Structure 1
Amino acid sequence: MANEKVGFIGVGLMGYGMAKNILLGGYAVNVVMHRSRRSVDDLVSQGATEAKDLTALAHASDIIHICAPGSPQVEAIITAMMPELRRNTVIVDCSTSEPTSTERLASILEAKGCFLADAPLGGTPVQAEAGELSTMVGAPDNVFVRIKPVIDCWATSVVHLGPTGLGHKMKLLNNFLSLGYAALYSEAMAVGRKVGISVDQFDSVIRGSRMDCGFYQTFMGYAVDGNKEAHKFTLSNAYKDARYLANMADDASVSNPVGTAMKNSFAAAINMGGDGPEDYVPHLVDFIAKLNGMPPGKES
């Protein structure tokens, strides 16, 4: 069994599969109850230990993973654990967080003799359970060497970009592209339906062409096949990431007009009622259709 004891906070859609694969990698894993009693109980049945709270988990762990919705939650979790963090503890933030927050937390932890690495995720819950996620890591070289064997349990593609913060910066750029695709696809299909081209006809031309890609295929799983769970990433989280991207561009004094347009597409969906826990990114197609006076569906 591996020597490092791993804590895992946030065993939800992505975190459950990641924690399970860390267990399969031979690590002792501590988990804590947050939202899903079922996920915690299942992991405990596979050999994980349940900590009574965040401070108990911090006291019992050498490397702590966090999968949370965003920076406010990550900041609150780290603040709660701070009194019990032992020297040389590494916190691995797998959330999509705001880089300025990440860099600030890294400085606070460094003063305590601890470390923060950012390792945001690429992939889906299915890939998380299969141990086939990708990640882009920001961490000092010595910290990356230490955490990589654990990350290898849940990721097949691991890119070390450099110091802490770069992982979250790259993740926002990655999501700028993917969420930009979602906004483009939704708008293109709305225009198509208005001029007499059905969603199926649109897909018959794009699929397999140079415009096709993995994200297109998962996105269109809903638009074409009606699979509401084709890509389980909420519109609310997408809108949050779009705001973080805008903040990053503003901090760098970079003109980001396409990012602003993409953000506005998700803002429109949120304001039209797409802020529920089961309103996922591919559902954006329905909100853009509604914005243009059309009902959900595929026909022109």
Structure 2
Amino acid sequence: MKKVGMVGIGLMGHGIASNIVKHGHSMILFEHPGNQPLDGLREAGATTTPSLKELAAAADIIILCVTGTPEVEDVLFRKEGLLEGVKPGTIIIDCSTAIPSSTQRIAVEVEKIGVRFIDAPMTRTPKEAAEGRLNLTVGGDREVFETVKPLLQCYAENIVFAGPVGSGHQLKLIHNFVSLGFSAVLAEAAACAERADISSDVFLEVVGKGGGNSVVLDRFRPFLETRDRTGFRFYISNALKDMTYYTTMARESGAMHDNAESVRHTYELASKAADPKATVPDLVEILVKGQS
């Protein structure tokens, strides 16, 4: 069984790593202050290192689960980074949400040293990551995809092969525009309802029995009922990042993106008004205050 290295053991990455270890894979993890606690993973058999170069030298497959394009480029190309230790034949799986044109450029660069690169971004939440039930959209060479598919199945329930490298990131951004766009609409509607003294129970009943019934509504429901944020643990800062990536992709491809710009603007304003750890459901309270 091939050794798996992983960079980025955050809210999503911790669940991914837990399921990979659970399926019997040997893992080496990159130590970073932004990680979730690693004690449980170490107890399950994973090793850790503070050196990206050392991780790359030890691994046959490397999973990147970092925030976005700047972080992917940094861990790959920095001094003492992954590409200084990686072996020819290594496969790098990028699970981040990234700008597709950058993904394509990175793939070309790493292939020059005999490394294969695929993008396999995920949807769903940390809850599904811990349960091994993520959704993946994969871009890259079909043969490489088939090679790593058994590994992906350790932590994913639904896996779609999207096409050439970068296709996975394109579809992820399209998906997130739909999801985050509806989240912004729902938050704005909920804020308006609150300002109009409509109870959250009545709001949820009416929207839930109509055209607004959706996975997004289900994720917002705990917050609207009791201010429980655990149903949608996705930072507003990441929502802004994803919407910025989407509008960049749309602009580069010549696609209309007027609605996306409005959604991006909503998250931009919210990120300036919110705590750095504020999640998407907090958008409701931010918009209520914004209407004061």
AA of the residue aligned to 2:124: G
Number of aligned pairs?
289
Contact kept, 8 Å, 1:32 with 1:40, in 2: the verdict is no
Q: Which residue of 58, 68, 71 maps to 2:69? A: 71
- Work out the CA distance in 1 between the residues paired with 2:129 and 2:168: 18
SS at match of 1:14: helix
Taking the TM superposition and a 5 Å limit, the aligned residue runs for 1:32-51 are 32-35=30-33, 39-51=37-49
- Work out the CA distance in 1 between the residues paired with 2:34 and 2:272: 28
- Work out the CA distance in 2 between the residues paired with 1:232 and 1:115: 32
Q: Which residue of 53, 56, 59 maps to 1:58? A: 56
Q: What TM-score does the superposition give when structure 2 sets the normalisation length?
A: 0.95
**Quick one: percent identity of the two aligned structures?**
34
Give 4+ residue runs of structure 1 displaced > 6 Å after superposition: none
Q: Which residue of 7, 15, 18 maps to 2:16? A: 18
- Work out the CA distance in 2 between the residues paired with 1:144 and 1:87: 17
- Work out the CA distance in 1 between the residues paired with 2:96 and 2:193: 36
C-alpha displacement of 1:91: 0.8
Per-residue CA distance 1:98-135 (angstroms, 9 max, x = gap): 11111110000111111111111111111111111111
Structure 1 residues 69, 275: CA separation in 2 closer, same or farther (over 3 Å shift)? farther
Taking the TM superposition and a 5 Å limit, the aligned residue runs for 1:84-233 are 84-233=85-234
Contact kept, 8 Å, 1:265 with 1:288, in 2: the verdict is no
Structure 1 residues 271, 58: CA separation in 2 closer, same or farther (over 3 Å shift)? same
- Work out the CA distance in 1 between the residues paired with 2:195 and 2:229: 23
Structure 1 residues 72, 275: CA separation in 2 closer, same or farther (over 3 Å shift)? farther
- Work out the CA distance in 1 between the residues paired with 2:140 and 2:37: 29
Contact kept, 8 Å, 2:10 with 2:36, in 1: the verdict is no
Per-residue CA distance 1:130-167 (angstroms, 9 max, x = gap): 11111111110111011111000000100010111000
- Work out the CA distance in 2 between the residues paired with 1:38 and 1:132: 19
SS at match of 2:154: coil
SS at match of 2:276: coil
AA of the residue aligned to 2:92: I
Q: Which residue of 25, 40, 48 maps to 1:27? A: 25
Q: What TM-score does the superposition give when structure 1 sets the normalisation length?
A: 0.93
**CA RMSD between the two structures:** 1.4
Structure 1 residues 209, 37: CA separation in 2 closer, same or farther (over 3 Å shift)? closer
C-alpha displacement of 1:208: 3.9
C-alpha displacement of 1:226: 1.1
C-alpha displacement of 1:289: 1.1
C-alpha displacement of 1:220: 2.4
- Work out the CA distance in 2 between the residues paired with 1:34 and 1:194: 43
SS at match of 1:175: helix
Residue of structure 2 equivalent to 1:296: none
C-alpha displacement of 1:67: 0.8
Contact kept, 8 Å, 1:229 with 1:280, in 2: the verdict is no
C-alpha displacement of 1:248: 0.5
Deviates more, 1:205-214 or 1:171-180: 205-214
SS at match of 1:55: helix
AA of the residue aligned to 1:240: K
- Work out the CA distance in 1 between the residues paired with 2:191 and 2:130: 34
C-alpha displacement of 1:12: 1.2
Q: Which runs of 5+ in 1 are unaligned?
A: 294-300
Contact kept, 8 Å, 2:95 with 2:121, in 1: the verdict is yes
- Work out the CA distance in 2 between the residues paired with 1:233 and 1:210: 24
- Work out the CA distance in 1 between the residues paired with 2:182 and 2:275: 20
SS at match of 1:177: helix
